[in-house]
Structure 1
Amino acid sequence: MTGGPEPVDADARKELEKELAELRAERDSVAATLRDGGGDQTGDRADQADELMRADEADRLNGRIREIEGRLEEASVAAPPAAGTVGVGSSVTVRFEDGTESTVRIAELADALDPGLVTGDSPLGKALLGRGAGDTVTYETPEGRATATVVSVG
């Protein structure tokens, strides 16, 4: 990203808060099935394996919860990008190596129904963040390294 905290638009914040609530509920459900660790360990190996799987799932959920909480906390202190600088929420026109131009919107969360959306953590999104008109960026694609030039930032 730009090296500093990135803002989150209102729609993305709602989605992150919704996911956070769902993850917390799921974690509480999984945690309720775990033994306290010091209790009777008389179950067979299948019971012990199931317990380990639930503990791993609880760890995974806790990790994602921490990630979202950190992102929301970071966003709460972030200032919007400077005028003319690409940031989350910016609309950017880029010219690719083959001469085609495309306008994309930098967003926090992916949306399969919006082909003009690029997430800030995608290769192109990362390359564009913090850049301005006239800057050329390099990023990785499945076909190899590619470059694009920022035409304008809206």
Structure 2
Amino acid sequence: MTETTGTWLTQEAYDRLQAEYDELVNVKRAEIVKEIDERRQEGDLKENGGYHAARDEQAKMEARIEELRHKLANAHVGEVEFSGTIDAGTVVTAEVMGREMKFLVGSREIAEGTDLDVFSAQSPLGAALLGRTAGDETSYVAPNGKEITVKVLHAEPFGG
């Protein structure tokens, strides 16, 4: 499974996102509609800061609902089948520019509650590591144009 075909999520992360989605759609959406209606009744909409703030909040909430809907619809849920090669759901220990780092290749949703940094498989570092194994060396071009050398020290499946 690669993240280009969807997002890998643990069952716990999927359930957490589903609960957030359900809360937004079934509870928060109705609350914000009520808030907008109350603010609308206060009078002139051009001068009504509360109305505009509620509409802004509604737009942010609808964007989050759409983001969650897409992630949940395209999620690959379950444990990673680890073959020793780095893919989404792999915890990597690597030497990056002479400094040892431990991070997850995947999505930030699954690492919530851990102290792991997260790099998506589409990030320059994540993409450079896909398919690599412990002992491999590779490099990637950082956003500033600098080439960064990476040595994979250890790779293991994410355990939560």
Q: Aligning the two structures, in what range does the TM-score lie when normalised by the shorter sequence? A: 0.5 to 0.7
**What is aligned with 1:17?**
18
Paired residue type of 1:53: A
Unpaired runs of at least 5, structure 1: none
- The aligned runs of 1:12-51 (5 Å cut-off) are 12-24=13-25, 25-35=27-37, 43-45=43-45, 48-51=48-51
Counterpart CA distance in 1 for 2:15 and 2:63 is: 20
Report the aligned-residue RMSD: 3.6
Asked if 2 retains the 8 angstrom alpha-carbon contact of 1:88 and 1:120, the reply is: no
**What is aligned with 2:140?**
138
| Paired positions, count | 146
SS of match in other structure, 2:48:
helix
Percent same amino acid among aligned pairs? Answer: 21
TM-score using structure 1 length: 0.68
Counterpart CA distance in 2 for 1:121 and 1:23 is: 25
Measure how far apart 1:60 and its partner are. 0.9
When structure 1 is superposed on structure 2, of 132-141 and 22-31 the one drifting more is 132-141
Paired residue type of 2:105: I
When structure 1 is superposed on structure 2, of 43-52 and 22-31 the one drifting more is 43-52
When structure 1 is superposed on structure 2, of 5-14 and 119-128 the one drifting more is 119-128
**What is aligned with 2:126?**
126
TM-score using structure 2 length: 0.66
